[in-house]
A and B are shown apart, each in its own frame.
Chain A
Amino acid sequence: MTAASATLSASEIAKAVTSGKLTALEVTETALARIERYDGILNSFTDVTAERARTRAREIDSAIAAGRNVGPLAGVPFAVKNLFDVKGLTTRAGSRINRDLPKATRDATLIERLEAAGAVLVGALNMGEYAYDFTGENVHDGPSRNPHDPSRMTGGSSGGSGSAVGGALVPIALGSDTNGSIRVPSSFCGIFGLKPTYGRLSRARSFPFVASLDHLGPFARSVRDLALAYDAMQGPDADDAACTTRAVEPAAPRLAQNIGSLRIALAGGWFQKNLFPEAAEAVAHVAKALGVTKVVDVPEAERARAAAFVITTTEGASLHLDRLRKRPNDFEPAIRDRLISGAMIPAPLVDRAQKFRRWYRAQLLEIFRSVDLLIAPATPCVAPKLGQVNFVLDGIEMPVRPNIGVHTQPISFIGLPVVAVPVPLEPMPIGVQLIAPPWREDIALRVAYTLERMGAVSAPPPRGL
């Protein structure tokens, strides 16, 4: 494989490998070389599974030589946030504590499904500790760094996923999103990300955070790649109690369908506040490209964000209670202190948050009776500097870390599917959320694809490498 092919998309790689123009091993070696060359800057990988990848690539090449169809992701390198189980590795979930756990004996379901479609796992990726993070910083492994400016955050908690795809080390990565952890790194790193409907993709054999809010999903540098990965991972899984039993609903074959009949609106109210000029510009840019002027108020989104905050901190505290008792000094201090405080929220207040969730969900479902897609900012700002503690938003100085997700939290709170699309502003890109009704990932992907074909959104080449 030539150096030029390092920039091929997943679908181009699969086509080249399937047709024999490239071998899976050549593609794998190029990805490994690129990781070797650039990850010293990006710090996106915590584990590189080079030998496993070479073995898998050789199997694919043998299968192709024997005339077998190896799948739509033939030879495509990918990597996963290190909360996915990878057979033979310890699932660290960004923590020090989990490094004492036994090695995983089986891959996570989504890894198995991508590999069944011909993809090749090349490693595990850096992340914020226990996914309780919007920055991509990590005291144990060091911060993942933004591929467009390594002095800036990747966003989190799937920071390594954003960095690895934004830096074009791999065309596809997987991450998790509880309150925005796919959409925030997508925005800061200038790539596409899909947070599917809650329950759409299996979470089996991934380390949890907030059971009632956790989603897994893909990152990519093009909408077609995002859809190919998503389609390959769909399907029921008895190993995840929340995973839907709905049949697979492939999105890739429908990407080019005309979107002219779709009713698209801007999310109003809360989603038009707390924005830096770049975020407002990005939303306006997407709305203009789609010819959208209608604004729909999303009622009580601020309260929805608050309810998600409460559920997150309490369910997170419940998950980690015993570790907080026994190994409090082995946590990242800021995360430990948040989790301890989460253990102290009176139960009736958590119950109210869960009940409010049903009320809010009904309001959004009502909106989706007359709207097919909502446009909203993904983050209030472009990637802040690493270590930045505060920013001034709407004239008020506030902490960076919890406020990065103000526009993502009210959406994942009720499990709606979202594609984050990158607007390649200079010097730093920023994302926009395309929010669809439940189980209609295809709508968000079709609109994203149309925007990409128009040239309105795109993943810029890594500007910091």
Chain B
Amino acid sequence: MSAELIDDYIASVAALLGLPIEDAWKPAVRANLEVSLRMARLVEEFPLPDETEPAGVFIA
């Protein structure tokens, strides 16, 4: 994913959520988002049955 695409995405979501992001913060926000999306993709690529329920509160 290009840096430009991520920057556009950040700007759009920030506008939707009403989050102010100063120019000086943008590189760090982008770097953090790239790490989080990499982590999320690692989870997403793991196949799960359609019936899998989320695990909320842990009850053994």
Chain A interface (Cβ < 8 Å from any Cβ of B) = 197-199, 212, 241-242, 300, 302-303, 306-307, 309-310, 313, 321, 324-325, 328, 333-334, 336-338, 340-346, 349-359, 361, 365, 402, 414-415, 437-439
Assuming the A-B contacts A310-B36, A337-B25, are A199 and B57 also in contact, with contact meaning beta carbons closer than 8 angstroms in the complex? yes
Known: A309-B36, A342-B36, A344-B9. A352 touches B56 (CB 8 A): no
Q: What are the residues of chain B within 8 A of A349 when measuring CB–CB?
A: 37, 40-41, 43-44
* CB <8 Å contact, B25 and A336: yes
Closest 6 CB pairs of A and B: A438-B60, A354-B54, A415-B58, A341-B32, A358-B55, A306-B39
Contacts of A313 in B (CB 8 A): 32, 36
Per-residue interface assignment for chain B, residues 1 to 25, with 1 indicating a CB less than 8 Å from any chain A CB and 0 otherwise = 0000000011001100111111001
Q: A328-B20, A343-B19, A344-B13 are in contact. Are A357 and B54 (CB under 8 A)?
A: yes
- Taking CB atoms, residues of chain B closer than 8 Å to A197 are 58, 60
Assess whether A337 is in contact with B36, with CB atoms less than 8 Å apart. no
A357 to chain B, nearest CB (A): 4
Quick one: which of A241, A303, A365 has the most chain B CB within 10 A? Answer: A303
A313 to B37, CA, bound (A): 11
Asked whether A337 lies within 8 Å of B29 as measured between CB atoms, the reply is yes
27 contacts between A and B (CB under 8 A): A198-B58, A212-B56, A212-B57, A241-B57, A300-B46, A303-B43, A306-B42, A306-B43, A309-B36, A324-B19, A328-B22, A340-B19, A341-B30, A342-B36, A344-B13, A349-B41, A352-B40, A354-B54, A354-B55, A355-B54, A357-B54, A357-B55, A358-B52, A358-B54, A359-B46, A359-B48, A415-B58
Which residues of A lie under 8 Å from residue B29 when comparing CB positions? 337, 340-341
B39 touches A309 (CB 8 A): yes
A333 to B60, CA, bound (A): 39
A300 neighbours in B (Cβ, 8 Å) = 46
A358 contacts across to B, CB distance below 8 A: 52-55
Given known pairs A242-B57, A358-B55, A439-B60, the reply for A341 and B36 (CB within 8 Å) is yes
- A353 and B45 alpha carbons, distance in the complex (Å): 11
Instruction: Indicate the size class of the contact surface on chain B.
Output: 35 or more
Chain B positions near chain A (C-beta within 8 angstroms):
9-10, 13-14, 17-22, 25, 28-30, 32-33, 35-37, 39-44, 46, 48, 52-60
CB neighbours (8 Å) of B37 from chain A are 345, 349
Cβ distance A335 to chain B, nearest Cβ, rounded Å:
10
With a cutoff of 8 Å between Cβ atoms, the chain A residues found around residue B30 in the complex are 341
Expressed in whole angstroms, the minimum distance between the Cβ of B1 and any Cβ of chain A is 13
A-B contact count (CB 8 A): 120
Task: Report the minimum CB–CB distance from B39 to chain A (whole Å).
Answer: 4
Q: How far is the CB of A389 from chain B (nearest CB, A)?
A: 13
Min CB–CB distance A93 → chain B (angstroms): 21
A336 to B52, CA, bound (A): 33
Check if A303 sits within 8 Å of B32, measured CB to CB.
no
A328 contacts which chain B residues (CB < 8 A)?
A: 19-20, 22
- Min CB distance A62 to B, Å, is 42
Q: Find A356's partner among B13, B43, B59 (CB 8 Å cutoff).
A: B43
Given contacts A344-B33, A357-B55, A437-B60, contact A337 B28 (CB under 8 A): yes
- Bound: A356/B13 CA distance, A: 26
**Bound Cα distance A334, B27 (Å):** 11
Given known A333-B25, A333-B28, A344-B10, contact A355–B53 (CB-CB < 8 A): yes
Q: In the complex where A328-B20, A344-B9, A358-B52 touch, is A352 in contact with B44 (Cβ < 8 A)?
A: yes
